[in-house]
Amino acid sequence: MSEQPVESTNTTKVRIVHLADHTGKMQVIFPFDSMLDMAALSRLTKRRFDPVANYNVDGDPLIKPNVCPTLIDKSLLESELIDLRGSASQSYKSLTLAEFKERFQGPLTRYETLAIPVCEIPTPAKDLESDAEQMFKALGKFQSVRLKQRLEETLEIPPLPASSHRIIQLCANEKAGTDELCDVISLDPALSAQVISWATSPYYGVKGEIESVEDAIIRVLGFDMVMNLALGLSMGSAFQLPEDGPRHYEDFWFGAVSHAVLMEELVRKMPSGKRPRLGHAYLAGLLHNFGYLAIAVVLPPHFGILSRYIEANAHLSADVVEMQTLRFTKEQLGAWLLKHWQLPAGIYTGIRYSRTPEYRGEHHAIANLLCLSHQLFEESSLNQTLLSDLGLTVEDVQACYSKVMGSSKELAKMVELISGNK
């Protein structure tokens, strides 16, 4: 006797987000595989809400119906079963649609269209060469001209410091040595002090005094590392952190430094024949989120909107939210800007494809390492194909990550050198 086919059940896991404005609080319930549309919410309520929690991947606890207004996405009415939980510490419980509707009824509950399925959100252009066209198209003809002017003529973006230009030129000189690098860095006393202080950081545990940039190069960091570190530090001084960003981005430079040192550790673990240039990998980690700053400087109104969306949709990768709100990602804009500033191709290419685990084009090692770094910091599943292609094991990368996270105090002191928050 043949087995009867088992009918699949249409089950939807939901996410709960608490929002508030000056007049009160609201609870929103929508599918976990969707993005909360803050614009739709404003149109429906004629109010401007902000998320109560600044960064909440798991979602907020369930408020009892009719204690406060509850908006529920209409798409849930098409589900047979709805997986719901009272808080992040509880397990999900399946409710039939009838049970769900019975639980959420009353004068304070409404069903509206307020979420966008992730599968309907556009994706980035397939290659770096198509990024400019996608960005210009997204912003419209008038905006694209303004964007191009701002980036290419640096009308509103701070120009690169002179020291950055000199170091970029040095990067292109294959015959450059320690003397030339020391000469370039010494022209900027503040940069010299930063490099020396970095080398003396407890993170590197060097005994004895580091009294010069030459010492930092020879005894601690190495030529390639110092060159790219100096470039990153110099570029960092050109941008101020935005004030209207997502509240969980307050540690922007800590994230940058953490990614940089993790990239350094991962490269050292790789088989020698597969390793990218250590300095380039380090700088790609330091600048991996540079497009975030560029969006804030070039497109401040868009940035404020993006920030609220990111907070409300902390369960989604930021690039998904960026594609819906901007129609391009910070990786696209950051890579385009770094390419315009004539940084080495391995750095901007690595950043551009850092959210594309299947990328195997030129400079794929840096892109793949950055992708792996994102997975570690975001505590998501490690891509086994990436690990195999990079010649790394799960034990290798977890050990590198543990070392970096175990040095958070030392890294925080290194961050002070960039942010000036001493």
Model pLDDT for residues 222-256, shown as the tens digit of each residue: 888 888 888 887 777 666 666 666 665 557 788 88
Mean pLDDT over 59-83 rounds to: 93
Residue 318 has pLDDT above 60, yes or no: yes
For the chain, which residues make up each domain, given as ranges? Answer: 11-120, 128-158+239-419
- Of 327, 334, 343, 258, give the one whose Cα is nearest residue 296: 334
Residue 5: band (very low, low, confident or very high) from pLDDT cuts 50, 70, 90: very low
Residue 259 has pLDDT above 90, yes or no: yes
pLDDT at position 116: 97
76-80, 203-207, 260-264: segment of lowest average pLDDT: 203-207
What CATH homologous superfamily does 128-158+239-419 map to?
Hypothetical protein af1432 (1.10.3210.10)
Mean pLDDT, the chain, whole residue set:
86
Residue 307: band (very low, low, confident or very high) from pLDDT cuts 50, 70, 90: confident
- The model carries a pTM of 0.84
The DSSP element (H or E) to which 17 belongs, if any, is strand 11-21
In eight-state DSSP terms, residue 69 is: -
CA-to-CA dists, residue 349 to 19, 80, 117, 322, angstroms: 38, 45, 29, 19
SS3 220: helix
CA-to-CA dists, residue 370 to 117, 179, 267, 269, 390, angstroms: 27, 31, 11, 14, 11
As a 3-state breakdown, the chain gives helix, strand, coil percent values, each rounded to 5, of 55, 10, 35
Mean pLDDT over 312-329 rounds to: 93
Residue 162 has pLDDT above 90, yes or no: no
Residue 422 has pLDDT above 50, yes or no: no
* Neighbouring residues of 283: CB distance < 8 A, sequence distance ≥ 6: 228, 229, 231, 232, 260, 343, 347
Mean pLDDT over 204-220 rounds to: 85
Mean pLDDT over 102-120 rounds to: 94
Please determine whether the domains at 11-120 and 128-158+239-419 fall in the same fold group of CATH.
no
pLDDT at position 141: 54
The pair of three-digit structure tokens given for residue 10, joined into one six-digit string: 């249409």
CA-to-CA dists, residue 31 to 25, 34, 171, 416, angstroms: 20, 5, 48, 41
pLDDT at position 411: 85
CB 411 within 8 A of CB 257: yes
Considering only residues 410 and 82, tell me which one the structure prediction assigns the higher pLDDT. Answer: 82
CATH 3.90.960.10 correct for 11-120 = yes
pLDDT at position 154: 41
pLDDT at position 418: 66
Q: What percent of the chain has pLDDT over 70?
A: 88
- What would the pLDDT profile of 355-397 be if each residue is shown by its tens digit? 999 999 989 999 999 999 999 998 889 999 999 999 999 999 9
Phi, psi for residue 354 in degrees, rounded to 5: -70, -15
CB 213 within 8 A of CB 192: yes
